[in-house]
Structure 1
Amino acid sequence: MTHSRALRVGVDIGGTFTDMAILDDSGIVAVGKTLTTHSEPAAAVEDVLRQTLTDHRLDPAAITTVVHGTTLVTNALIERRGARTALLTTEGFRDVVEMGREHRYELYDLALELPRPLVPRHLRFGVSERVLADGSVDTPLDTAAVKRLATELSGAGVEAVAVCFLHSHTNGAHERQAREIIRSVAPELRVALSSEVNPEIREYERASTTLANVYVQQLVETYLEDLRARLRGLGLRCDPLIMLSNGGVAAVDVARRFPIRMLESGPAGGALGAVAFGREAGRPDQIAFDMGGTTAKLCMIEAHRPLVTHTFEVDRVYRMRAGSGLPVRAPVIDMIEIGTGGGSIARVSPLGLITVGPDSAGSEPGPVSYGRGGTHCTVTDADVVLGYLDPHRFLGGDMALDADAAYAAVKEQIADPLGITVAEAAWGIHATADESMANAARVHAIERGQDPARLPLFVSGGNGPLHGPGVAAALGSPSLVAPPAAGVLSALGFLSAPMSIDIVRSRHATLSTVEHSSARDLFAEMEHEGAEVLAASGVDRGDIVHERTLEMRFAGQGNEIEVPVPHLGDGWRDALAASFAEQYRQRFGTVAPRGVETEILTWRVASRGPDPRARLHLAGTRDGSGARTGERDAYFPAVGGYVSTGVHDRYRLAPGTVLEGPALVQERESTLVVPPGARCTVTEDSSILVEFTPAPAERAPAERDPVRHDPARPDQHDPAQPDPAHYGTAQHGPAQRDSAQGEDR
């Protein structure tokens, strides 16, 4: 072993690949990527870490930090692989989780399917008790009924119980009492209380979140123990830290108690990486775009902070319809998920249009070009045909792609049915994917009061640099930023996240009736709770900072907005009202009405430790020698089709290097496609800045001889055969968009 400095490791388990990055004080020293093992996720983590440590001669004992994000919770909820769970609620309210809000998310669909609760009706039980909205007790808890139910549930094979009594967010005494009874009778049952998991107003969302938390708890605990044992087996001396959906990290014990806060832990890393690079380069506002093998995610960064929401939906019946999934109330980085990734399946619709996704070939079996049994043509297969991916250098040469199989799949499934050339079909798949993601990005930005045409696009994920230029062009973005190790940026982003926890209370009151002392005391209580959690995770109390926000609305409204809380000094009510008015103006583009009473619903405190010092640069120096490694044919309609395109090694490009498009910049996990008319510059932080200029007038694209042209052999230069047909980005079917966030916009 040759490395003696302290090492920090980030690991992200995605739908197709498991990514890993290793840092020391000088920057990125190693990255790794392997196919995700869905049946045993920790196995892929162990394999990629062992292989990377061996390849780079790194000492496992030098690793001081491991930060881990995973899709385990999301997948378990979608696939219904959780514990056999029961629900205890106030008598007469056991059907709340099935009735929901009685909202028809698709008004005219006569065969409408509603989200299926995690607990069937025969395992939902009402108990005699009643707490009123002000927290006072109207009817005491029927302890004998709880004891009897606990005995019956244990005998029936139930493994977990969620307790969600009416108004327990105000007074959770009955829930705590029920837990003590259940534990005394059936100590093997896991019990989750809504007053602890999600102490917020709105019973349906509170019950749904509590159920989801306890439903996956056993699975998460087993997984985390397996992961910890595998890391110890490799020689690591530290326990992993777990990435949370809010953009912070937590100790294993916190994640085990509240696994629902891991719901979107993986995608959070890409947004955090964008923030880290943006802060160093002076880009406070940008669009973070991450495209992997299964999905693409997009997030708005404002003033060096990713936007955060507190409502999320999982397991939607209709992927594109808000309200068709199970609501979860937890702090989540506000991003949209788009059903487009490298493994997204391309088809010809009944209308004769090319469509892409939202279903994906994933990693098992994967795209046709993976050679693992996949039969459906995918975006990755199209990119191989277009010459953007080198079949012999995929994942640094560790995984060869079958270019012939990709070509045959595109021809048979897309080109022949449409009567177009294979190159046109492949370009149609590529362009359709770009346009669908650009449409989603455009709507997401506008909904948040941003103009996407003025924001740079920060790309990450294995397919982000490859498709990002097309998305940026469709948005009219002035530039694109491709960071180093973009293909594993989520894992890198984890290493820039502080320890954090979010504390929440619901206390409904009009602003004019809230006393200064009660507001001060409530925030102090919440800050103390947050500090206790972080201190138990090893954070020095002197390094903890707290951010206060309130969810406020005009009296009588049904939705609220989050408002930063000014200093609680003299004139604090006027200052808070002004803060609310400013947030209202930013959100809705109009001045808040005067003379209308405002009210507070929810109080929030975000407690955070210090930001870790992480250099996300490539370690070492580069003089640019040998950076151009060759050429291969790549397809660009703007300049006539297949053209000989320079290929450059990302790891050898020196800061200040300027390249003119078309060009291909390769690193182990991703390829940056620089289109014709664009200019890219390697910046001091090892990123590549791509600036767009008007492209030359498009000529008719050329298709190589389908028999003789082999995308895997760049040395072939058959005469181009012009074809007058040209398929632009807007002609290939509707966008596939998934607005993955909550129902209260």
Structure 2
Amino acid sequence: MATEAALMAGLRVGIDIGGTFTDLCVLGEAGVVAVGKVLTTHREPALAVAEGLAEVFARAGLDFGDVEQLVHGTTLVTNALIERKGARTALLATAGFRDVLEMRREHRYELYDLRLELPEPLVPRHLRFDVPERILADGTVHTGLDEEYVARLGRELDARGIDAVAVCFLHSFTNPAHERRAAEVLARAAPRLRVALSSEVVPEIREFERTSTTVANVYVQDLAERYLADLARRLHELGVGPAPHIMLSHGGIATVETAGRYPIRILESGPAGGALAASAFGVGAGERDLLAFDMGGTTAKLCLVADGAPLVTHEFEVGREYRLLPGSGLPVKVPVTDMIEIGVGGGSIARVNALGLLTVGPDSAGSEPGPVCYGRGGTEPTVTDADLLLGYLDPAYFLGGGMALDVPAAREAVRTKIAEPLGVSVEEAAWGIHTSVNEDMANAARVHAVERGKDPAKLPMYTFGGAGPVHGAGVARALGAPTVVAPPAAGVLSALGFLTAPLAFDFVRSARAAVLDLSWEDVDARFAEMEAEGAALLRESGVDGSDVTHARVAEMRYAGQGYEIRVPMRATSGTWPDALVADFTDGYRSLYRRSGPPVAVEVLNWRVVSSAPAPEVSLRLKEPASGEAFGGSRPVYFAGGFVDTVVVDRYRLRPGAQVAGPAIVQERESTVVVPPGARCVVRGDVSLEVSW
């Protein structure tokens, strides 16, 4: 058994700010020593962080002076883009291209919808400007930059109170000279303006996505920098010595300075942590391929883990008009953990629509006012209210008893808003809300998995988040998944996952060419340039150069195709072109179950991920508490009616223990529902495996 001193040594802290709750997890050298969950303070997010840390450290008897690392993830950037709360921003584009943001790709995500809506560009047309200049696709200068025009425009924008400028010139990913010179001119003419260059934010092909991403980055940059400064100040006042690290969307971490420079890269930082933790527990259990399912208070997310690592994509959309329809949001071209996000969480609002049908989400009660049962002024019934009425949640043990839930208020809201309009009982209405959410998530997850060449019925599902373990069995059964696993500290698993991530950053260069037309010397030089950038960035963060590793990737397609797939670059010289084409062919066949046409294979983008060593951490909990784990029973609703159901204290379960369903396994931050006919086994790492 680990000693208490060993558990408390070398503390590492993970903090995840979600739409409803802020989660905290503290690791010592021997494993998890404390976890916590507090309501998010949306107007001042760092306040919840400080208050939650103070509460957790006081409850566990920990000292802030023992903290060696703090890793933080946040939804701040996502929320600012969705709510349009960024800086007043202007766009400087190549003459004739200022309307790229408005024209998009002329893609209709609903072909026959005459009322189709697209999100408004972050920069209105009167703040988008045509700059006289032109660089051709091969990088040669066709028309020189009109520096006087840029200087005059900078002074006018400054005088009109504009705060930020995005500079996106045609083909700057090939030759960034004009963008860099424009930044120099603007800095001299209007030094107050914050300027972002597309050649630095996202130096790759596709004009609309590149422009949209650069605009989004500078739009939220001031907000992100001010928030990160406030966070650092509050942590310093608490006595936390090390500067915080920030979780990136693709699963690496970065310094505050880097995150402030490229805030668009922390867009999906919270969900990335959960996927990392699920993959770590899966690898430890010998399950390298799995589904990671995260359900919090506002949204649910599902990610595929393949060969021990979450899938990563470089295409993402924010603020979709229709959540499940690609093309209906603002595109950002940055590396993010590849997941499907659905607007159903514990706080999602249920209602009866004009057709008399029950719908849930995507709007959420969040933490202000929150579900009706929170007693904070909420009046609309939510998923949490339904779960409470079904008996899945203990009104006296929510957040370990830190928040009493109001059952009568929840019952009244479900009765008046759902049950009476549908002509059913309150329990039937609550069951309808619960199962509707499960089916919505399962349907979206099935499409997400199949589109990536995976069969969800063959993969275990790891579930986490405050509401994930409550709904996990229902979603897994609907998917046909063989088992559902709730890791220890499932309610705050994203915060725990932050502490498994290495310092890492992603680099890209666009240079389209047929593979067989390339020389190894040119390819190696292109990769070496990016690797040098990565090594320098990591050295600035205190990483020894000898510890840095680089992963090379080529994004490839058949000539004439519009999109590409990612292929790891394993070859080094000699027969590398044939080896690379063979790897591409295998990857293509794996995704699409067929071979491509007999045409040339080309590379569009070259990528490098530069990483420091991953931290060596123990994810196990402290030894189980002594005493009886089974703490009586209560009536819980399953299909058909209430069933007397055993209640189990998770903190007293030991590896090898078994629980027959129906059962409710309670912990402070989440609850695992074991339905009738299912069986729950405690694994060696204290994860709960539910199977049927």
TM over 0.5: yes
Match of 2:277 in 1: 273
Counterpart in 2 of 1:457? 461
3-state DSSP class of the match of 2:537? helix
Aligned mates of 1:655, 1:622 — CA distance in 2? 12
Equivalent residue runs for 1:703-722 within 5 Å: none
| Contact kept in structure 1, 2:86 and 2:220, CA below 8 Å | yes
Q: Percent identity?
A: 62
Secondary structure of 2:334's counterpart equals: strand
Letter in 2 for 1:430: H
Q: 1:15-63, CA deviations, whole angstroms, 9 ceiling, x for partnerless residues?
A: 0000000010111110111111110000000010011111111000000
Residue correspondence of structure 1 range 4-43 to structure 2 within 5 A: 5-43=9-47
Alpha-carbon offset, residue 569 of structure 1: 1.5
For the pair 1:401 / 2:405, whether they are aligned, the reply is yes
Residue of structure 1 equivalent to 2:643: 643
* 1:665 alignment partner in structure 2: 665
1:259 aligns with 2:263: yes
Note the C-alpha offset of 1:417: 1.6
Residue 606 of structure 2 corresponds to residue 603 of structure 1: yes
The equivalent residue for 2:623 is: 620
What secondary structure, in the 3-state scheme, does the structure 1 residue paired with 2:509 have?
strand
1:61-90 CA deviation, whole Å, 9 max, x = no partner?
000110000000000011111111111111
Matched with 1:124 is 128
Is 1:392 matched up with 2:396? yes
Structure 2 counterpart SS, 1:356: strand
User: Among residues 414, 419, 436, which one is paired with 1:415 in the alignment?
Assistant: 419
Output aligned runs, 1:39-118, within 5 Å: 39-118=43-122
Tell me the equivalent position of 1:194: 198
User: What SS does the corresponding residue of 2:315 show, helix, strand or coil?
Assistant: strand
TM-score normalized by the length of structure 1 = 0.91
Contact 2:8 2:28 in 1 (8 A): no
How many angstroms apart in 1 are the aligned matches of 2:353 and 2:442? 21
Which residue in the other structure is 2:687 paired with?
A: 687
Number of equivalenced pairs: 688
Give the distance between the partners of 1:537 and 1:371, measured in 2 at CA: 45
Which residue pairs with 2:633 in the alignment?
631
Separation in structure 1 between the aligned mates of residue 664 and residue 55 of structure 2, nearest angstrom: 28
Cα distance, 1:514 vs structure 2 = 1.0
Measured after TM superposition, the shift of residue 355 of structure 1 is 1.6
Deviation at 1:4, TM superposition (A): 5.2
**Corresponding residue of 1:723:** none
The answer to whether the 8 Å contact 2:503/2:611 transfers is yes
Match of 1:698 in 2: none
Q: CA deviation at 1:187?
A: 1.3
3-state secondary structure, aligned to 1:201: coil
| Structure 1 Cα separation of the partners of residues 125 and 80 of structure 2 | 20
Q: Which amino acid is the alignment partner of residue 130 of structure 1?
A: R
Q: CA deviation at 1:621?
A: 4.4
Flag structure 1 segments of 5+ consecutive residues without an equivalent. 693-745
SS at match of 1:604: strand
> RMSD of aligned C-alpha atoms?
1.2
| Distance in 2, Cα, partners of 1:371 & 1:266 | 27
1:273 and 1:69 map into 2 onto residues whose CA distance is 14
CA distance in 2, matches of 1:294, 1:621: 31
Letter in 2 for 1:59: D
Q: Distance in 2 between matches of 1:544 and 1:280?
A: 24
Structure 1 residue 566: Cα displacement: 2.1
Partners of 2:671 and 2:137 in 1: CA distance: 57
Q: Distance in 1 between matches of 2:122 and 2:422?
A: 43
**1:241 is matched by which residue type in structure 2?**
H
Give the TM-score, by structure 2 length: 0.98
**Amino acid in the other structure paired with 2:541:** S
C-alpha contact 2:473 2:484 (8 A) present in aligned 1: yes
Q: Distance in 2 between matches of 1:158 and 1:351?
A: 46
**Cα deviation code 1:108-164 (max 9, x no counterpart):** 122222221111111111111111100011111111111111111111111111100
Task: Give the Cα–Cα distance (whole angstroms) in 1 for the partners of residues 8 and 675 of structure 2.
Answer: 42
How far the C-alpha of 1:563 sits from its partner, in A, is 1.1
Look up the SS of the partner of 1:655 in the other structure: coil
Give the match for residue 556 of structure 1: 560
- 2:650–2:667: 8 Å Cα contact kept in structure 1? yes
Deviating more after overlay: 312-321 vs 116-125 = 312-321
* 3-state SS, counterpart of residue 686 of structure 1: coil
- Counterpart among 293, 300, 306 of residue 304 in structure 2: 300
Residue 147 of structure 2 contacts residue 182 of structure 2 at CA under 8 Å; is this kept in 1?
yes
The residue number in structure 1 matching 2:579 is 575
| Cα drift, residue 360 of structure 1 | 1.1
Distance 1:439 1:227 in 2: 39
Which residues of 2 match residues 585-600 of structure 1 at below 5 A?
Answer: 585-594=589-598, 596-600=599-603
In the alignment, the residues of structure 2 paired with residue 159 and residue 414 of structure 1 have an alpha-carbon distance, to the nearest angstrom, of 47
The alpha-carbon deviation at position 321 of structure 1 amounts to 2.0
1:700 aligns to what? Answer: none
Q: How far off its partner does 1:593 sit? A: 3.0
Map of 1:697 onto structure 2? none
- Cα drift, residue 265 of structure 1: 0.4
1:284-683 paired onto structure 2 within 5 Å: 284-594=288-598, 596-622=599-625, 625-637=627-639, 640-683=640-683
AA aligned opposite 2:287: R
Structure 2 distance, partners of 1:330, 1:107, is 27
Query: Secondary structure of the equivalent of 1:330?
Result: coil
Which residue is 1:232 aligned to? Answer: 236
Q: State the Cα distance separating 1:592 from its structure 2 match.
A: 2.7
Cα deviation digits, residues 607-638 of structure 1 (max 9, x gap): 11111112111123445x2211221111122x
Query: C-alpha distance in 2, partners of 1:4/1:570?
Result: 52
The DSSP-based 3-state class of the residue aligned with 1:575 is helix
Q: Distance in 1 between matches of 2:631 and 2:189?
A: 70
Q: Deviations over 1:534-561 (max 9, x none)?
A: 1111112111111111111111111111
**Secondary structure in 2 aligned to 1:169?**
coil
